[in-house]
Amino acid sequence: MSGIDAVAAAQALSEIGYLLRQNPDEKFRARAFSDAAWAIALERPDLAALHESGGLTSLAGVGAGIAKVLTELVETGHSRYLDRLREETGQPARDDESSLDLAEYQGDLHAHTKWSDGRATMLEMAQGAQALGYRYLGVTDHSPRIKVVNGLDAARLLAQSQEMAEVQKQVEGLTLLQGIEVDILEDGALDLPDVVLEILDFVIASPHVKLRQEPEAMTHRMLRAVSHPHVDLIGHPTGRRPGSREGATYDFEAVFKEAARHGVAVEIDCDPARMDLSPEMARLALECGCNFALSSDAHAPNEFAYVPMGAWMARRAGIPQDRILNWRPVEALTKTSK
């Protein structure tokens, strides 16, 4: 028996969910695979033991079909179903995939709290990150433009920093970073003034609205955002939601090259509803010289588990650990901040 651990199994099921999601007719099956992947990434069951006792279907969200895939994964370390989906979508296995040791993942740089549209308090999110053994957590709520999510202006960011100082005292071993997920406006300007962005520990700039701009205008918009002196990371760079919403189209190569030139990293957003890059796009960004962040974009503590289930995309893109910010110690992140 070659065996497969829970994290590797979660990645396989998650990749199946992603590939199925490209086909709108497979929406529900895609969701079932992603949900099962999430449950396994959260609970880390002993799959070999469950298989032995015939108990795979006792796992949350695992019916007969998914159990069959899991059985093959446990017995052979492989899934022919996944291989077939890869072939069908023109993404066969490659021999230059990377390997990532998730036990060495230092911390998540993209998470929301009740300060904007998160469903948990900052303390609950911090304790969730601490329980996972993370060394840091980037608290990156939304900027003011996104009114529906109660985005933060300068005054609320100041209030948030006061709460953070209190929460920090309660989570030994975890460093809280105050960041923002600032909206990239239609012309590429950012939704908060420089004087505010400057004092934050970490700045994610993300496109949220008007994603269907003309490619030329969108390219200009993204080039301007990655050139901004305070931006550290481009969040979910296309905004695509496979199977339900087309994302932004622009000159990816030009934008990734410019990002690399400015030391701005590119995000792989591991939320299964997002997963807005593709392995090919992530590979292009790698070749353009970009660094990456592997983020959960968590809105509740149980969503931190999106990272282990979504790590397959970085592996498939051949991204080595040393090109991903989350494998660097917190000191390296704060020292290199621009």
Site residues, Zn ion (CB under 5 A): 181, 206, 297
Give the number of other Cβ atoms within 10 Å of residue 155's Cβ.
9
| Helical ranges in the chain per DSSP H | 6-21, 27-43, 47-52, 64-76, 80-88, 122-131, 154-168, 194-199, 215-226, 252-261, 279-287, 306-310, 312-316, 330-335
CB of 26 to Zn ion, least distance (A): 25
Q: Tell me whether residue 181 or residue 191 sits nearer to Zn ion (CB atom).
A: 181
Name the DSSP letter for residue 148.
Answer: G
Nearer to Zn ion, 147 or 169 (CB): 147
Sign of CA dihedral 308, 314, 318, 323: negative
Closest Cα to residue 7, out of 132, 131, 108? 132
Taking the C-alpha atoms of residue 192 and residue 213, their distance in angstroms, rounded to an integer, is 22
**Burial 44-65, CB ≥16 within 10 A → b, else e:** ebebeebbeeeebeebebbeee
Residue type, 23: N
Contact 165, 158 (CB under 8 A): no
Q: Which CB, 68 or 241, lies closer to Zn ion?
A: 241
Q: Which is nearer to Zn ion, 12 or 234 (CB)?
A: 234
CB of 163 to Zn ion, least distance (A): 19
Complex with Zn ion: residue 116 or 175, whichever CB lies closer = 116
Amino acid code (one letter) for 312: W
Between 121 and 321, CB nearer to Zn ion: 121
Is 160 or 206 the residue whose CB approaches Zn ion more closely?
206
265-269 vs 233-234, strand pairing mode = parallel
Burial label for 331, CB within 10 Å (0-12, 13-18, 19+), is exposed
Q: How far is CA 84 from CA 23, 151, 239, in A?
A: 14, 43, 27
Which residues lie closer than 8 Å to 331 by C-beta, 6 or more apart?
A: none
- Count CB atoms within 10 A of the CB of residue 253: 12
Closer CB to Zn ion, residue 33 or residue 292?
292
Q: Which is nearer to Zn ion, 16 or 109 (CB)?
A: 109
| Nearest-approach distance from CB 101 to Zn ion, in angstroms | 25
The span from the CA of 281 to the CA of 22, in Å, is 15
